[in-house]
Amino acid sequence: MPYFCQSLSFSAQALLFACHRLPAPALLYSGLSGHPREHAADQKRWAVLAFAPTQQRCVRSSIDWNALTADLGQQGFHTQLGLTAPHERFISGWMGYFSYDAGRFTVSGLPNSAITESDTSTTALPYAEFNRYAFSILLDLDSDQCELRAPQAMTESEVANITSQLQQALDASAHVAVEPTSWKPGWDDQRYEQAFDRVQEYINAGDVYQVNLTMPFHSQANLTERNPTELLQHFDAPFSCYFKSDALTLFSVSPERFVKLEEHRIVTSPIKGTAPRGATVEEDEANKQWLASSEKNQAENLMIVDLLRNDLGRSARPGSVSVDKLFDIESHANVHHMVSTISAEVQPTLTPLDAVLNAFPGGSITGAPKKRAMEVIQELEHSQRGLYCGSFGYFSDSGVADFNILIRSIVATEKGAECWGGGGVVKDSTAESEYEEIFNKVQRIMDAPL
């Protein structure tokens, strides 16, 4: 698909390091860790950087939600795009997040979320925030080259204004030594076990088959101005992102795609099943093989595959839903994961927004059946998840939408920060192993440089 493109003289690595100094920045970061590459020739680390939005939407009410969805619903599908690499999918358009709690707008009959007196959240966060960006900067992190991209030609003065803002960000950016962030778990093992036991009661009663039970970790540090670069590079995760607004700063090294929509086709790749990385090559391979052959994890994964077949079916042409991959093993910086892939053809009367919201929130972070699992989550977790287990991504002007699952994420406000972890609880789960798995997933994130 033709678009305006102009090489810039800046270092891509330097712009990545300075991205947090730009006005209202949003960043997609694609590392190689655990990534089943969609194009065999595209074995590169890249990032797409957008800033200085022309429109901003922040959702704190149903009125705000209706205004946002009216804007996003105007982004339709395009056919025969001819895109040759994933980084071509976003040149301009809307980029932002849906929080997990935006599920109150998408799941019919779900009780409204309410923060209880026991809630320890740092602040009441928006249900969603999206910015409209008229251009983006492609950062080729391997060649250290970058280019300005827009859907139509830009004038010399427009380009000069953009390069001036980039230079200002570079001038303001500097390596600053920071103290390690101190984190405190929101639950101890006894509280987790109480919630776990209650989930088992619901499973034994036949209410649910699986519940994704999660817990927060809190920090009192103000991380809103921290540089995301070292965290992104440390994990090198395929669906990482960074987003900064007046309300919050989001850092995510997500390994999981929620949905991608392109040319009326929708694809989802849920993660369900985890094993720790080993201290040696032999131990690491043994852990990987254990996960691949684990009947428990396969059963847990299959429950979510069936749930997502149903979720995609809400938007699909009849008979088009298929399971393309089942029980693949992907290796990431901190854990091995079991991943499956489901796809479908979207009904021609629907928009990308329709298809995203029909499946939101992702089934891998709720449980099955979805609505009842979400009710159990609301009862047992007591506090709102906020952005955790929501989705970050974009609706591009080229007709493509792509969203991650916001796991392995830190959400910061001036009052403090949160990092959540969790896992799917099924009948043969044990509280001890599930609690340990939470720390396997998030400890390295909390210990990582930020």
Examine the residue annotation and report whether 272 is marked as an active-site residue of this protein.
yes
Cα–Cα distance between 124 and 54 in angstroms, integer?
26
Rounded to 5 degrees, φ, ψ at 54 are -90, -20
CA 388 – CA 214 distance, rounded (Å): 10
**Active-site pick, 88, 129, 256, 381:** 256
Q: What distance in Å separates the CA atoms of residue 78 and residue 91, rounded to the nearest whole number?
A: 14
User: H or E segment at 189?
Assistant: helix 189-204
In degrees, rounded to 5, the angle at the alpha carbon of residue 419 between the alpha carbons of residues 238 and 341 is 35
Q: How far is CA 227 from the centre of its chain?
A: 19
Cα distance between residue 279 and residue 276, in whole Å: 9
Q: How far are the Cα atoms of 253, 340, 444 from residue 332, in angstroms, in the given order?
A: 10, 16, 12
Per DSSP, 141 falls in state T
Q: Name the nearest CA neighbour of 268 among 404, 77, 99.
A: 404
Q: Token pair for residue 246? A: 């007046």
Beta bridge partners of residue 48, listed in sequence order? 28, 138
193: tokens are 């076990």
Residue 148, classed as helix, strand or coil, is: strand
Q: Which residues contact 382 (CB under 8 A, 6 or more apart)?
A: 116, 118, 119
Find out whether the peptide bond into 352 is cis, omega within 30 degrees of 0.
no
Q: Is 415 a catalytic residue?
A: no
Catalytic residue among 272, 330, 345, 441: 272
**Distance from C-alpha of 388 to C-alpha of 377, rounded to nearest angstrom:** 13
CB-count burial class (<10 Å; 0-12, 13-18, 19+) for 277: middle
Positive or negative, the Cα torsion across 336, 288, 293, 339? Answer: positive
Q: Which residue has the tokens 């591009």?
A: 396
Q: Which residues are catalytic?
A: 256, 272
